[in-house]
Structures are given as C-alpha cells and as structure tokens.
Amino acid sequence: MIINHPLLGPRDSAEFVYLGTADLMNRPDPDTATPEDWHDYAYLRDNPAGTHRELWFHDGGDRSILIVTRDTITHEISAVELALKTRAEA
C-alpha cells in the first residue's frame, strides 16, 4: 500500500507501523467514565467491511501518527491526516 503522508507525500506502507483504530484517540474521561466505558475503550473494536479510520505510526520516517481512512475491502485510502494536528484542532 501507499500512504499519502500530509507532510512527506506518498510513502510505502512498509515504513509504517499499524496502531489500530482511530477510536483509541477517544480515551474515556477519567472523572466521568463508567467501568463499561473503560471496558469498551480497552477491548471492543469494530471490524467493518468498508471504511475504517485507523492510526499508522511513521516509524521509519518522521514519527508522525497519521489517521488513515481506508476501505478494508479494497484498501483504497480516501483520507490521511496528522493525528496531532487533527486532535489539537478538535
């Protein structure tokens, strides 16, 4: 696969480490979260046949974590964002 890095352009996926769903960015609020919220965050994962937002760590590159929107059936990548920037702007 080729991931179009927002800063570095198209890079081979071999340079990246897959970190899992982008939902991992939504860590429960420790002050208000219930045990169920923590359980869901730690253990429950969607397994969609289709669009999936996921984190890729540019281990062999600039160490950015990217949010990649990828179709799990075709591997087509429709969007790539920097996790840090996306998160800070949210």
Partner 1 sequence: MTPKNRLDGGQIDRNTTLSFSFDGKQYTGHPGDTLASALLANNVRLMGRSFKYHRPRGPMTAGSEEPNAIVELRSGARQEPNTRATTAELFDGLAARSQNRWPSLKFDVMSINDRFSNFLTAGFYYKTFMWPAAFWEKLYEPIIRKAAGLGSLSMQADPDDYDKGFRHCDLLIVGAGPAGLSAALTAGRSGRQVIVADEDFRMGGRLNAETFEVADMAGADWAAQAVAELSAMPNVRLMPRTTVIGAFDHGIYGAVERISDHLPTPPTGKPRQILWRIYSGQTLLCAGATERPIAFNNNDRPGIMLAASVRAYVNRWAATPAQRVAIFTNNDDGHRTARDLHAKGVKVAAVIDTRADAPGAIDYEVLSGAQVVDTKGRLGVTFVELKLADGNSRTIECGALGVSGGWNPNVHLTCHQRGRPQWNGALAAFVPGGTLPPGMIVAGAANGAFSTHGALKSGADAARKALGLEGRAPELPQAEDAPVTQTPFWYVEGCSRAWLDQQNDVTVKDVKLSHQEGFRSVEHLKRYTTLGMATDQGKTSNMGGLAIMAELAGKAIPEVGTTVFRPPYTPTAIGVLAGRMRGTEFHPTRLTPSHYWAQERGAVFVEVGNWLRAQWFPLPGETHWRQSVDREVMATRASVGVCDCTTLGKIDVQGVDAAAFLNKLYCNGFAKLAVGKTRYGLMLREDGIAMDDGTAARLAEDHFVVTTTTANAGKVYQHMEFVRQCLMPDADVQLISTTEAWAQFAVAGPNSRRLLQKIVDPDVDISNDAFPFMACGNITVCGGLRARLFRISFSGELAFEIAVPARYGDALMRRLMAEGEEFDVTPYGTEALSVMRIEKGHAAGNELNGTTTALNLGMGRMVSRSKDSIGSKLSERPGLNEDDALMQVGLRPVSRDDKITAGGILMRADGPVDAAHSQGYVTSAAFSPTLGSMIGLGFLKDGGVRTGETLRLVSPLTDLTVEVEVEVVSPHFVDPEGERLRA
Give the residue, chosen from 57, 61, 69, 80, that forms a contact with partner 1 under the rule CB under 8 A. Answer: 57
Q: What is the secondary structure of 6-73 as a DSSP string?
A: TTTEEEEGGG-EEEEEGGGG-PPPTTT--HHHHHHHHH-----SSEEEEEEE-TTTT--EEEEEEETT
Establish if 25 lies at the interface with partner 1 (CB under 8 A): yes
Cα–Cα distances in angstroms (integers) from residue 54 to residues 5, 19, 34, 74, 79, in the given order: 14, 7, 25, 15, 11
Give the residue, chosen from 11, 56, 68, 83, that forms a contact with partner 1 under the rule CB under 8 A. Answer: 83
| Of 22 and 46, CB closest to partner 1 | 22
Give the residue, chosen from 32, 46, 50, 63, that forms a contact with partner 1 under the rule CB under 8 A. Answer: 63
Establish if 88 lies at the interface with partner 1 (CB under 8 A): yes
Establish if 73 lies at the interface with partner 1 (CB under 8 A): yes
Q: What is the DSSP letter of 88?
A: H
Binding site for partner 1 (CB under 8 A): 1-2, 17, 19, 24-25, 27-28, 30, 33, 35, 38, 41-43, 55, 57, 59, 63-65, 73-77, 83-84, 87-88
